[in-house]
A and B are shown apart, each in its own frame.
Chain A
Amino acid sequence: MLAHLINGISLGSIYAIIALGYTMVYGIAKMLNFAHGDVIMVGGYISFYSMTLLGLPVPIAILAAVFVCTALGIVVERLAYKPLRAATSLAVLITAIGMSYFLQNAALLIWDANPKAYPNIFKNFEAVEFAGARISPFAIVAIAANLVIMIALTLFTTRTKVGKAMRAVSEDKGAATLMGINVNFTISLTFAIGSGLAAIAGVLLCTAYPTLMPTTGSMPGIKAFTAAVFGGIGSIPGAMIGGILLGIIEILARAYISSELADAIVFGVLIVVLIFRPTGLLGKQVHEKV
């Protein structure tokens, strides 16, 4: 039971890191960035080839993935989303879906469809014994990474000037512009941070499930997005709670009920939560005014 719980929390930590990207972008640009899952996949491939083809050490490979994904996030935002700032949310959604198709098919052409076996980056580390359960080094790193990222982001958005600007833009774009905040820069920065986090999530995800394909990112992407909605979209602690709960539910459902139905159960829980709390666990309740 404890082992499953730890597995669930470590998988949930990956979801939480991905969900952060969704939630930040949604909070600031009010768009569902469907291409986010595919940025994870790109991060996976970049780190994979840095390690195997170039023989770089693991930390450098991760840095390379973060760098490439951050740049990719900025470029995607500039080319595809920025021209649509004034368009309807549905138009932006379809563009994001187009971008997701584009990244998947570009990956298919560049890196072909054969699944790659991702190296175990923790093979030199021993599992730790804790209260009768073995905790893999992967679980420790995933949970620690999640905590560090969460604390750093919370400090960033509450203490720094740029972070405060980010919150201001997400609350009211027009008023933020009047206060002298560069809205375009702030949105680009949000995409950059989200995509950089996606790269880290990509490395962790590929370590947990070591088959790397052009479609690797799409299902975890959708699940992380439901995690973001589950916790209340736009809220940073909400993404963390939503991600971890989703991970625990998925692992427990797989272990005790049925592996085929695990996804159905995860989505079922999401639906139940949304019926009783229509804006997610930590979402703001917006009162309707006439």
Chain B
Amino acid sequence: MNIYKNASVASKKAFLNYAIVILFFVVFQTLVNTGSITSALKGQLIPIVCYMIMAVSLNLVVGISGELSLGHAGFMSVGAFTAVIVSALMSGASNSSRLFVSILVGAAIAALAGFLIGIPVLRLNGDYLAIVTLAFGEIIKNILNCLYVGIDDKGVHFAFNNPNALGMDPLGKEIIKGPMGAVGIKKIATFPAAVILLLVVLIIIQNLVNSRTGRAIMAIRDNRIAAESMGLSPMKYKMLAFTVSASMAGAAGAIYALNISTLVPKKFDFNTSILVLVFVVLGGIGNMTGSLIAAGVLVVLPELLRKFSDYRMLVYAIVLILVMLVTNNEKLKGRLDTFVKKLGMRISKGGRKK
């Protein structure tokens, strides 16, 4: 407790996030162990953690570095498909080492993709940067749609846009079939492993943000010209944030892919990128706690709204618009505050009468 008391505001916030994640894990793991959770929600646990990782990593780019990225799902798919190949190659190894290496390689390849894409993207700014990230996300999806990968005794075979060009042994197995996606993935991801990954991601991001490097990134966000005249290189720091964020999205994609049996490239389209961006904005830009909570609630919300079946996505859209209006319009915000105050007074009055 003493450590907590003496800690700075920033590290208190960081501790809060670790506490939230650990609490989330303990509650849901107990629910799973006692069997008091619906199978639909149980199946959502790993995706929820994946989206939490996606949200905090996107928040590093959007909130801390201040660049609007609309192609975050592209990095997720790079990590996902890399992990599928790596995991298939390691079929002899134990599940945990397969998972570990797959995530690591997935994150590394996604980081490489982030670095290469960052070179042209980070030269632009504002809405132009946003539209180019969107374009790269679509390009990644299209390229993966044309990718065929097979494995036989001789190793991995790649083919582009033509499944007959794989040149495999007759005994070989196709693991990625273009638009049909990856098939027959062995489900080796576990909920505890996903939570550990989330904690690692949080530790990296929060330590990065509270370091000298993190302050440099934020200085460039707040005033690029002033930061530049202090000798900070905008390209270097923006690239750092962008690449780190891409690698984390890759790791999230890896564990996401190893939790399902078939995965199509279409899963990671523009809509997924937007979904993650919605988590970041609703949670509060630059606020990691907000990203965690928003991702958790909004992945589960459509599930909870299942009662309304046909209307659930409509309700989701209306909730989204209303939240944006209420939190961003001064007049409505004021009205909401007075309403909450009145409501509070009425409740306390009612309490006194009893």
The proximity string for B residues 171-187 relative to A, scoring 1 for CB distances below 8 Å and 0 otherwise, is 00000001100000000
Shortest CB–CB separation between residue B283 and chain A, in angstroms? 12
Q: Which residue of the partner chain A has the closest CB to B275? A: A97
> Would you call A91 and B324 a contact (CB within 8 A)?
yes
Q: Is the CB of B161 within 8 A of A95?
A: no
**Most-contacted residue by chain A among B131, B328, B332 (CB, 10 A):** B131
Of residues 301 through 354 on chain B, the ones whose CB sits less than 8 Å from some CB of chain A are 310-311, 313-314, 316-318, 320-321, 324-325, 327-332
Distance in Å from the Cβ of A35 to the closest Cβ of chain B?
10
Bound form: Cα–Cα A26–B274 in Å: 19
Q: Which of A218-272 contact B (CB under 8 A)?
A: 222, 225-226, 229, 233, 258, 260-261, 263-264, 267-268, 270-271
CB-CB nearest in chain B for A280: B128
- Tell me, yes or no, whether B100 is within 8 Å of chain A by CB: no
Q: What separation, in Å, do the CA atoms of A97 and B131 have in the docked complex? A: 14
B28 proximity list for chain A (CB < 8 A): none
Q: How many residues on chain A are close to B (CB under 8 Å)?
A: 43
Closest-CB distance, B57 to chain A (whole angstroms): 17
How many Å from the CB of B129 to the closest CB on chain A? 9
Identify the interface centre among B62, B317, B330: most chain A CB within 10 Å of its CB. B317
Query: With A80-B321, A261-B161, A267-B136 as given contacts, are A97 and B278 in contact (CB-CB < 8 Å)?
Result: yes
Is the beta-carbon distance between A87 and B139 smaller than 8 angstroms?
no
Report if A105 contacts B (CB, 8 A). yes
* A87, A105, A229, A263: the one within 8 Å of B314 (CB): A105
Q: A230's closest neighbor in chain B, by CB?
A: B131
Q: How far, in whole Å, are A165 and B113 apart by their CA atoms in the complex? A: 46
Whether the pair A264, B138 counts as a contact (CB closer than 8 A) is yes
The smallest C-beta distance from B322 to any residue of chain A, in angstroms, reads 9
Please give, as numbers and ranges, the residues of chain B lying within 8 Å of A274 by CB-CB distance: 120, 124, 128, 131-132
Q: Does B105 contact A (CB under 8 A)?
A: no
Known: A95-B324, A98-B317. A87 touches B146 (CB 8 A): no
Residue of A nearest to B330 (CB): A86
- Known A-B contacts A95-B325, A99-B321, A101-B316; A225 and B131 likewise in contact (beta carbons under 8 Å): yes
Point out the residues of chain B lying under 8 angstroms from A88, CB to CB. Answer: 328
A85-122 interface code vs B (CB 8 A; 1 in, 0 out): 01111110111011101100110110000000000000
Question: Which of B139, B321, B325 has a CB less than 8 Å from the CB of A268?
Answer: B139
- With CB as the reference atom, state the residue of chain A lying closest to B285: A90
Considering the chains assembled together, what is the distance between the CA atoms of A91 and B328 in angstroms? 7
CB distance from A96 to the nearest CB of B (A): 9
Interface residues of A (CB under 8 A from B): 26, 32, 80, 83-84, 86-91, 93-95, 97-99, 101-102, 105-106, 108-109, 222, 225-226, 229, 233, 258, 260-261, 263-264, 267-268, 270-271, 274-275, 278-279, 288, 290
